[in-house]
Amino acid sequence: MNCRQAISWLLAGLAAVAVAGCAGRAVTDLRGTGDLGIVIERASGSVQIVDHSHRRSLGRIEGLGDLSHAHATFSRDGRYAYVFGRDGGLTKIDLLARRVDRRIVQAGNSIGGSISQDGRLVVAQNYQPGGIKAFDADTLAPVAEVPAEYAPGKFSKVVGLADVPGQGFVYALFDAGEVWVTDFTEPTAPRTRRFAAGKQPYDGLATPGGRYFMAGLFGEDGVALLDLWQPEQGVRRILDGYGRGEEKLPVYKMPHLRGWAVADGKAYLPAVGRHEVLVVDLTDWREVGRIPVAGQPVFVMARPDGRQVWVNFAFPDNALVQVIDTLEGAVIDTLSPGRAVLHMEFTPRGESVWVSSRDDDRVTVFDTASRQTQAVLPARAPSGIFFTARAARIGF
């Protein structure tokens, strides 16, 4: 073997090692995203990427701005999270590469957003300027805008945005007392229909499948209901006068509505100014029960199988979480996962629930059957928890 031969052998060997190294890395990095999610850290402008199979954090991404009242929606392949910040920031996060893919500031004051049925448009709902804006889901380039101008020169804050079939988005106008339905079939020329809803709608939800949109009203006792299969029938009122004319208790935080309040043919809704969860039959929309709870409900969330409904509360009762058994129609457990519980997210099949405690800087994972703690993850003032299973559901 001469010197030249030795060098070429050595080089070949090095190349082989390098290739093996790369291949090994690629193999370890290959994974799906079906068990991933994000935890919003509201005061520090960061999110953690989490893995709910192994109940662990995979890392933190910083620099997302003001994340108080942040919301997230997911690309239909479950790879990207779109995070909507209070300051109008819209950040597209790559959950696999664990980095910011793109980021824009699209408004002065925003509270959330959603993704279209075909996955091509991400739509933000804004307080300032009041209205909705649509962006290309790949590039975040602006596509269209629908200002919530309900009277000449008057713009409303937009709440309760939900994506529905037919490239539709339904949302409520807090200041106008209306529900609007915008059709993005032609993305650059959206068409909007308006419906009178009632005083101060504070949030909304689309039922699973997206047929009905409900808007909770703050300014009066009742819920506005729109049948999106027959919108020409207009909004009807359900749960009318549920407060029975009694004085409202003070509401120190607005309740939230989302599509998972529906369990086993019934909707479980937070009463406003009453320490009750209202139960409505989805076949005839009549109230079929009300369940006394520990405080003003904020999130009322059904476990995916519908057997349990978990409830968290407004200040000052926000250190508690209560569990309702839907068969018994009563609270069966009261948990104390930490101070200032802001959000809960079930794993897609409901065996666990992740609960954020803002003031104890942690996320607690509970076994929903035994209510035993399965894991505790440190997080900085955590608020919203969002798992990629949302990507496959309409109305989120």
Q: What are residue 22's phi and psi, to 5 degrees? A: -60, -45
Q: How far is the CB of 156 from another protein (least distance, A)?
A: 11
Return d(Cα 132, Cα 148) in angstroms, integer.
7
Return d(Cα 76, Cα 114) in angstroms, integer.
11
Return d(Cα 344, Cα 365) in angstroms, integer.
9
Q: How far is the CB of 201 from another protein (least distance, A)?
A: 11
Closer residue to another protein, CB minimum distance, 112 or 348? 112
Closer residue to another protein, CB minimum distance, 157 or 266? 157
Closer residue to another protein, CB minimum distance, 258 or 358? 358
Q: How far is the CB of 233 from another protein (least distance, A)?
A: 29
Give me the residues that bind another protein (CB under 8 A), please.
41-44, 66, 68-69, 86-87, 109, 111, 127-128, 157, 159, 174, 200, 202, 218, 250-254, 315-316, 340, 358-359, 361, 380-381
Closer residue to another protein, CB minimum distance, 252 or 285? 252
Q: How far is the CB of 39 from another protein (least distance, A)?
A: 13
How many Cβ atoms are within 10 Å of 285's Cβ, its own excluded? 16
Closer residue to another protein, CB minimum distance, 101 or 178? 178
Closer residue to another protein, CB minimum distance, 85 or 348? 85
Closer residue to another protein, CB minimum distance, 245 or 250? 250
Q: How far is the CB of 222 from another protein (least distance, A)?
A: 16
Q: How far is the CB of 111 from another protein (least distance, A)?
A: 7
Closer residue to another protein, CB minimum distance, 57 or 109? 109
Cβ contact 123:113 at 8 Å: yes
Q: How far is the CB of 10 from another protein (least distance, A)?
A: 52
In SS3 terms, the chain reads as: CCHHHHHHHHHHHHHHHHHHHHHHHHHHHCCCCCCEEEEEECCCCEEEEEECCCCEEEEEECCCCCCCCCEEEECCCCCEEEEECCCCEEEEEECCCCEEEEEEECCCEEEEEEECCCCCEEEEEEEECCEEEEEECCCCCEEEEEECEEECCEECCEEEEEEECCCEEEEEECCCCEEEEEECCCCCCCEEEEEECCCCEEEEEECCCCCEEEEEECCCCCEEEEECCCHHHCCEEECCCCCCCCCCCCCCCCCCCCHHHEECCEEEEECCCCCEEEEEECCCCCEEEEEECCCCEEEEEECCCCCEEEEEECCCCCCCEEEEECCCCEEEEEECCCCCEEEEEECCCCCEEEEEEHHHCEEEEEECCCCCEEEEEECCCEEEEEEHHHHHCCCC
Q: How far is the CB of 255 from another protein (least distance, A)?
A: 11
Residue located via tokens 């529906």: 262
Q: Greatest CA separation found in the chain? A: 100
Cβ contact 132:111 at 8 Å: no
Closer residue to another protein, CB minimum distance, 87 or 149? 87
Q: How far is the CB of 112 from another protein (least distance, A)?
A: 12
Closer residue to another protein, CB minimum distance, 71 or 79? 71
Q: How far is the CB of 210 from another protein (least distance, A)?
A: 25
